[in-house]
A and B are shown apart, each in its own frame.
Chain A
Amino acid sequence: MAASSARDRLTVIRRHLAPHPRDSDLQGHGGQAEGAAGGGGGVQNKGIQWQTASDTTPPPHPHTTIPRKRQDLLKWNGWGYQDSKFLVHKEKDKDYYVSFTGSRYKIGNLVLPHFASWVKETLGVKFDDCTPPQPPPQPQDYPASIINQEFLDEMKRLGIEMSIEGEDRLFRAHGHTLAEVFVLREGMFPRIPDVVVWPGNHSEVVKVVAAAGKHNVALIPFGGGTSVSGALLCPEEESRPIVSLDTSQMCRILWVDEKNLTARIEAGIIGQDLEKQLQARGYTAGHEPDSYEFSSLGGWVATRASGMKKNVYGNIEDLVLQVRAVTPRGTIDRYTAGPRLSAGPDTQNFIMGSEGTMGVVTEVTLKVRPVPSVRRYGSVVFPDFSSGLACMRQVAFHRCQPASIRLMDNQQFKFGHALKPPTGLMGLLSDGIKKIYLTRIRGFDLNTMCVATLLFEGSEQDVAQQERRINTLALEVGGIPAGEANGERGYMLTFVIAYIRDLGFDYGIVAESFETSVPWDRVATLCHNVKHRVHSQCQERGIKHRFVTCRVTQTYDAGACVYFYFAFNYRGLSDPVHVYEEIETNARNEILGCGGSISHHHGVGKVRRQWMSQTISETSLGALRAVKQYFDPDNIFASGNLI
């Protein structure tokens, strides 16, 4: 910010006001704009309508949903908001029942009358047998901090905020794999970051990275902390101090370019804030991974994230025009914002999916779209999974996907029903009629049928047309449209399902998800084989109660993304995490053997590193190592992910 004088800022503002912004001026654009936004001088900016939309420049201290002390709002040892969770109740002389607290989700403050019995039946849960997690650690419980005083002094001198408090360090020591959450509940990580720093913008990141190189400390970037690949875990063998570089304070939308429908955004912004702020201006990025309440833009880029509505908006690599990232070698930048580039291999791809091993993403130019006028859910039921799959294939073949289309298998269909809130008499009646219609008249079997959930976005006319198209294709393979409510519940479950795991832990259930992408002709066998493998592995280990389910969550021209949930009752097993990991390893081997990929969107991190050599050739891996060697010869970004 020292670089931007008041005169510079004025030039920028003038350019924004000019009717035809020139592309050639974009060089350094972001950095200067950021100066304007975060400069703290602020006086010149006040009241200036620098965009045709009614809003003003981003506030100097933008509101973030999640505070710097994340533990004030979020659970320290589980998923999501503190106020949102599943609770088990027992009234005298009655059976146990489950409810969901808080008012953030549609399921909130509701009793779920069918859930307790489903859990008992499927997973053999005994509600009398509860194992609560350990209390939060005391200050002396945290691993001692390895301090590099010169680095801390330099941070202080630069005015970059930092913390060496145990709580702050612990919160950034992990993501949300089963193993990590299990450690939070029952143990302690052998290594956690020694210091947390919060740079406020790109140039502060440049300084932090330079200081890290100078004082030989390791950096692990932290965005939203929703990783499910072990990417945030500190390598135990790392002897240098480890600094967690928390990007959450870099969360401003620097500008929105309405002519080109693009926006320059700082990489630390989390999904819900991004959407709120863009929608306030009438736009949307349309990127909604299931974690989007908490995950950050930089994290999306660093893991090659995929959003639920990719059919309309694209995955992150389709949405991103420019990526700016700081590596120990210098800053990666692309100067042009042209919509496509023929200029050699795309160097931005060194950063996309690099999982914090090459550097840290600081700013991104994203494409945005006007907020659609209609958003509507839908659903279709099928007599069995293979007919559902045939419908998905046809939809992809005709390229008539709505914003989202997902096919859940029979187990997940039943699971969804178990989470139905109580229904009134009319609801009960119509449910009963539906059931009779499906099973008696249409001959559906409740033990094979499955459901596809749909999300439509667009104009009223577009949506209506899309609905007609999908329904026609569904009918051809024996499907029946099943209304909005089923669809909406399906998508709501996506957000809520992560909370269930914390409840499960209390009662001896461990649960995890894993995903893959696979060519169309192998989707059916992959789903079948992987479920079979997981079941047979459970059987071998004497695991009686288990729940294995999958859904096809994305469709492409050449294949689909398949998402598995796997939960089992670990009462009687000594090391459930290890057992889980062995089974998931088996499942991943099966996935690769059936033509599936190492990951569709979760990334590799540390837990899937062993399959990289079965994913790309030795030469390709060598190229990745060489790039890492160039950007980061001293291995400052020492997370050890990916390769």
Chain B
Amino acid sequence: MEGAVGHTALSEPSGQGKPTCQYIDLLAERRQSSDLRWAIREWKSVGDYKYGNHLTRKEIFDHVLQSDRVQHTISQLVEGGKDQEVLINEVEEILEQMGHTQDISVIRQFAFVLPKIMKRIYGKVMINEEGIEKLRSTLVETPVVLLPTHRSYADFLLVSYIAYHFNLPLPVIAAGMDFMSMAVIGDKLRGSGAFYIRRSFMDNTLYWAVFQEYVLTIVECTGAPLEFFLEGTRSRSGKSLPPKIGLLGCVSECWLRGRLPDLAIVPISISYERTLEEKLYAYELLGVPKPKESTSGLLKATSILKENYGDIYITVGDAVSVREFLEPLVDRHLSVATPSHLAPLSRPELSACESLGYHMLRKIQQGVVTSVWSVMCIHLQRVLSTGQWSLPFDTLVQETAWLIDLLKRIGAVISVEGGVKESVERCLEIHREVARLGEDGRVHIQRLYNHSLATTNGTKMSLKGTSLINAVTEQVLQHYINKVIHLLIRPALLSLALISLHTTTLEKLKSRFEFLRSLFGYDFIFEKNAEGRDFMEGLSVMMWCGEASLVQDHVHLVQGGGRFMKTLLNVLSPFVLAYFCTARTLASQEWVDNGELVAASQLAVENCLTPGSGRYSALSLDSIRHALRALTRMGAATRITGEDGKVRLKPVVQSVSSIVEVLGHLIRSQPLKHKL
């Protein structure tokens, strides 16, 4: 590090007139001063909610126990024959297990350790300072919910660390129960403000009531910022996951039931240049189960301390007002005459919360800083699809520079330091495990498959060894492509629609686009009720780059599709293949077991692949599951409960075969080498 303060200005898309964002490096100062002094410095938060009250753990517990909702639930259960004492004990146990403490000394321990680790494995940790100051002024005015992306375990403490760094009020973090059992770490996380929730408890009314009141108490009474992951879990694929509405609905209730005047939701986009878990994710997506969270597992992972994980970019986005977003969508007056604990969210209210969730994910995506590596991966994947494992360095630089330029113009914020060439070199250094520059001046893509990792985790992989050799590398590449795919998806789906229809009317194109948008709606995040906007966005990008033209209500493909369109179709092709195979598998018979169906679909994908054809990332179980959800939602299959009480998935012949036909047509209209 040469400069004391690492200010970097990232140019935002040109022509939109937005000011450039200033990012500063959190580690710059830490590299020059004592971590201990940093950890024991005088610390006081600035920016606490002006109407917040400090509540102790005990006071929060009492507040929850005494709440109308919990008391009502207890009395309902007592009527059902349960013992009141037992129930109250149960509430206390739930609270004991759930409850967070916020102990500045624990925070200080992290403040001491984290910079040490970060300095070792990361280059810079960049954050937009302006976003922090906006957040601070929002925090004073209204309770805040922080929604960071979830791509890595590292997300967990990052936001708290940022709060410590900038003297912001420390967040209270909703964490999954699996962390709690981790020795030492589980308690430390609790001490730094994490509270633990079970993974599924919808059928446990008492737990649900306690959980809701716990969250409401934090938001309404203490006014401490609440942090949770909208996507529910770490996204293995690198894409945004569909939002989980449970917690979001719960906090929205504060406004929906008139308990708070407003609630601010702040998107936080954390962009890792290299994900700590990149290989684990690849195996997991291919079918190797995730290892249980444990401290020893974490210690084993200390090998990561020897590696270079590049930079992290963190964008704290503008707050979204829950009131402003939800007010046009809901009728609060319909529920106000019922005591609020007896008025669960109505269907339109839940639907509005879901819209809010999708809206927030879009906001989060807009804050993502794209790394040059993601752009490079698009080309590396294309190279693999031609059966090659290497390409000239200069070609890679040219292709990357071309696409970076395009991406910037359609709204990407890309962290290019120096020239593109230097950035590409730097990325190859960081990701040398995946692709490295040989002495022959060519970039060699590496085969990542590690036999021992695939088998030591116990369960057998269903995939063949030959598939895995290609698949792991491609899955890792796909992970990084996915980090930029939200920028490409609208023009990509438009291209897919256009290539299958050639010249067509605007209306037909739009309806095909909407069909695809709906079909791929779980893999890619679209805002609800924004079909028209998404279509126009996709069309205008393709028209702007000269690969589609609109003449008198007819859209034409210019010269059979240009370089950009080919790139886009290439990016989509693994998804199209996965969806096609899944739909065809679903159509083939009645399925008793969802797991079997997923496995059979994966096998069908595998049978379509030949070495040297690429598209191995179509084996991703993630996409197959998403495809099934979408197909079911679109009426390609119905769920029926059999006499044995088991739920079966029964294909609806007509609609599933029409979907199979469209997907098959899409595959045939692309220059792909598949055994169909």
The reply to whether the CB of B260 lies closer than 8 angstroms to some CB of chain A is yes
The reply to whether the CB of B546 lies closer than 8 angstroms to some CB of chain A is no
The reply to whether the CB of A629 lies closer than 8 angstroms to some CB of chain B is no
Q: A594-B336, A614-B333 are in contact. Are A589 and B327 (CB under 8 A)?
A: yes
Residue of A532, A533, A593, A614 contacting most chain B CB atoms (<10 Å): A593
Residues from chain A with Cβ under 8 Å of B262 in the complex: 532-533, 536
The reply to whether the CB of A331 lies closer than 8 angstroms to some CB of chain B is no
Q: A521-B339, A536-B141 are in contact. Are A592 and B332 (CB under 8 A)?
A: yes
The reply to whether the CB of A595 lies closer than 8 angstroms to some CB of chain B is yes
- Report yes or no: A526 in contact with B141, Cβ–Cβ below 8 A: no
B407 → A minimal CB distance (Å): 34
- Cα–Cα, bound, A594→B331 (Å): 11
- Cα–Cα, bound, A266→B350 (Å): 55
- Report yes or no: A528 in contact with B336, Cβ–Cβ below 8 A: no
Interface residue from B51, B141, B336, B339 paired with A593 (Cβ < 8 Å): B336
The reply to whether the CB of B261 lies closer than 8 angstroms to some CB of chain A is yes
- Report yes or no: B327 in contact with A595, Cβ–Cβ below 8 A: no
Q: Which of A591-613 contact B (CB under 8 A)?
A: 592-595
- Identity of the chain B residue whose Cβ is nearest the Cβ of A534 in the assembled complex: B261
A588 → B minimal CB distance (Å): 11
Chain B, interface SS category: loop
B555 → A minimal CB distance (Å): 41
How many A-B residue contacts, CB cutoff 8 Å? 40
- Cα–Cα, bound, A590→B331 (Å): 11
The reply to whether the CB of B299 lies closer than 8 angstroms to some CB of chain A is no
- Report yes or no: A529 in contact with B261, Cβ–Cβ below 8 A: yes
- Report yes or no: B258 in contact with A594, Cβ–Cβ below 8 A: yes
Q: Which of B94-142 contact A (CB under 8 A)?
A: 141-142
B64 → A minimal CB distance (Å): 18
B219 → A minimal CB distance (Å): 13
The reply to whether the CB of A5 lies closer than 8 angstroms to some CB of chain B is no
Residues from chain A with Cβ under 8 Å of B261 in the complex: 528-530, 532-533, 536, 590
The reply to whether the CB of B290 lies closer than 8 angstroms to some CB of chain A is no
The reply to whether the CB of B337 lies closer than 8 angstroms to some CB of chain A is yes
Interface residue from A522, A614, A615 paired with B258 (Cβ < 8 Å): A522
Q: Which of B244-276 contact A (CB under 8 A)?
A: 258-262
- Which size class do A's interface residues fall under? 10 to 19
- Identity of the chain A residue whose Cβ is nearest the Cβ of B220 in the assembled complex: A525
- Identity of the chain B residue whose Cβ is nearest the Cβ of A519 in the assembled complex: B337
- Report yes or no: B332 in contact with A593, Cβ–Cβ below 8 A: yes
B259 → A minimal CB distance (Å): 6
Residue of A519, A522, A592, A595 contacting most chain B CB atoms (<10 Å): A595
Proximity string of chain A (417-450) to chain B, C-beta cutoff 8 Å, 1 when within and 0 when not: 0000000000000000000000000000000000
A27 → B minimal CB distance (Å): 41
Residues from chain A with Cβ under 8 Å of B141 in the complex: 536
Residues from chain A with Cβ under 8 Å of B260 in the complex: 525, 529
Residues from chain A with Cβ under 8 Å of B327 in the complex: 589, 593
- Cα–Cα, bound, A593→B259 (Å): 10
- Report yes or no: B336 in contact with A592, Cβ–Cβ below 8 A: yes
- Report yes or no: A595 in contact with B331, Cβ–Cβ below 8 A: no
Residues from chain A with Cβ under 8 Å of B339 in the complex: 521
A536 → B minimal CB distance (Å): 7
- Identity of the chain A residue whose Cβ is nearest the Cβ of B321 in the assembled complex: A536
- Identity of the chain B residue whose Cβ is nearest the Cβ of A529 in the assembled complex: B261
A530 → B minimal CB distance (Å): 8
- Identity of the chain B residue whose Cβ is nearest the Cβ of A526 in the assembled complex: B258
Residues from chain B with Cβ under 8 Å of A522 in the complex: 258, 336
- Report yes or no: B333 in contact with A592, Cβ–Cβ below 8 A: yes
- Cα–Cα, bound, A614→B337 (Å): 12
Residues from chain B with Cβ under 8 Å of A529 in the complex: 258, 260-261
- Identity of the chain B residue whose Cβ is nearest the Cβ of A590 in the assembled complex: B261
- Cα–Cα, bound, A530→B258 (Å): 10
- Cα–Cα, bound, A615→B51 (Å): 31
- Cα–Cα, bound, A634→B671 (Å): 74
Residues from chain A with Cβ under 8 Å of B332 in the complex: 592-593
B353 → A minimal CB distance (Å): 16
A638 → B minimal CB distance (Å): 29
Residues from chain B with Cβ under 8 Å of A614 in the complex: 331, 333
Residues from chain B with Cβ under 8 Å of A528 in the complex: 51, 261
- Cα–Cα, bound, A536→B327 (Å): 15
- Identity of the chain B residue whose Cβ is nearest the Cβ of A518 in the assembled complex: B336
- Cα–Cα, bound, A528→B142 (Å): 12
B276 → A minimal CB distance (Å): 41
Proximity string of chain A (506-538) to chain B, C-beta cutoff 8 Å, 1 when within and 0 when not: 000000000000010110011011101100100
A478 → B minimal CB distance (Å): 17
- Identity of the chain B residue whose Cβ is nearest the Cβ of A614 in the assembled complex: B333
- Cα–Cα, bound, A614→B327 (Å): 14
- Identity of the chain B residue whose Cβ is nearest the Cβ of A521 in the assembled complex: B339
- Cα–Cα, bound, A588→B51 (Å): 23
- Report yes or no: B333 in contact with A525, Cβ–Cβ below 8 A: no
- Identity of the chain A residue whose Cβ is nearest the Cβ of B337 in the assembled complex: A595
Residues from chain A with Cβ under 8 Å of B336 in the complex: 522, 592-595
Q: Which of A384-438 contact B (CB under 8 A)?
A: none
Interface residue from A525, A532, A590 paired with B259 (Cβ < 8 Å): A525
- Cα–Cα, bound, A235→B647 (Å): 63
A250 → B minimal CB distance (Å): 39
Residues from chain B with Cβ under 8 Å of A592 in the complex: 332-333, 336
A312 → B minimal CB distance (Å): 29
Residues from chain B with Cβ under 8 Å of A536 in the complex: 141, 261-262
- Identity of the chain A residue whose Cβ is nearest the Cβ of B330 in the assembled complex: A593
- Cα–Cα, bound, A532→B262 (Å): 9
B264 → A minimal CB distance (Å): 11
- Cα–Cα, bound, A594→B256 (Å): 9
- Cα–Cα, bound, A593→B141 (Å): 20
- Identity of the chain A residue whose Cβ is nearest the Cβ of B334 in the assembled complex: A614
Residues from chain B with Cβ under 8 Å of A525 in the complex: 258-260
B559 → A minimal CB distance (Å): 50
- Cα–Cα, bound, A521→B341 (Å): 12
A385 → B minimal CB distance (Å): 12
- Cα–Cα, bound, A76→B310 (Å): 75
A592 → B minimal CB distance (Å): 5
- Cα–Cα, bound, A536→B331 (Å): 21
Residues from chain B with Cβ under 8 Å of A590 in the complex: 261
- Cα–Cα, bound, A590→B326 (Å): 13
B485 → A minimal CB distance (Å): 36
Residues from chain A with Cβ under 8 Å of B51 in the complex: 528
- Identity of the chain B residue whose Cβ is nearest the Cβ of A533 in the assembled complex: B261
- Cα–Cα, bound, A629→B339 (Å): 37
Proximity string of chain B (591-624) to chain A, C-beta cutoff 8 Å, 1 when within and 0 when not: 0000000000000000000000000000000000
- Cα–Cα, bound, A594→B255 (Å): 9
- Cα–Cα, bound, A522→B338 (Å): 11
A147 → B minimal CB distance (Å): 45
- Identity of the chain A residue whose Cβ is nearest the Cβ of B327 in the assembled complex: A589
- Cα–Cα, bound, A595→B332 (Å): 8
Residues from chain B with Cβ under 8 Å of A615 in the complex: 333
- Cα–Cα, bound, A558→B142 (Å): 30
- Identity of the chain A residue whose Cβ is nearest the Cβ of B326 in the assembled complex: A593
A20 → B minimal CB distance (Å): 48
A594 → B minimal CB distance (Å): 4
A397 → B minimal CB distance (Å): 17
- Cα–Cα, bound, A393→B262 (Å): 26
- Cα–Cα, bound, A594→B51 (Å): 18
Across the A-B interface, give the 7 residue pairs with the lowest CB-CB distance, nearest first: A594-B258, A593-B332, A532-B261, A595-B336, A529-B261, A614-B333, A592-B333
Known: A532-B262, A592-B336, A593-B332. 20 other contacts (CB 8 A): A521-B339, A522-B258, A522-B336, A526-B258, A528-B51, A528-B261, A529-B260, A529-B261, A532-B142, A532-B261, A533-B262, A536-B261, A536-B262, A589-B327, A590-B261, A592-B333, A593-B327, A594-B258, A594-B336, A595-B258
Q: Name 8 A/B residue pairs within 8 A (Cβ), A-sorted.
A: A521-B339, A522-B258, A522-B336, A525-B258, A532-B142, A532-B261, A536-B261, A593-B336
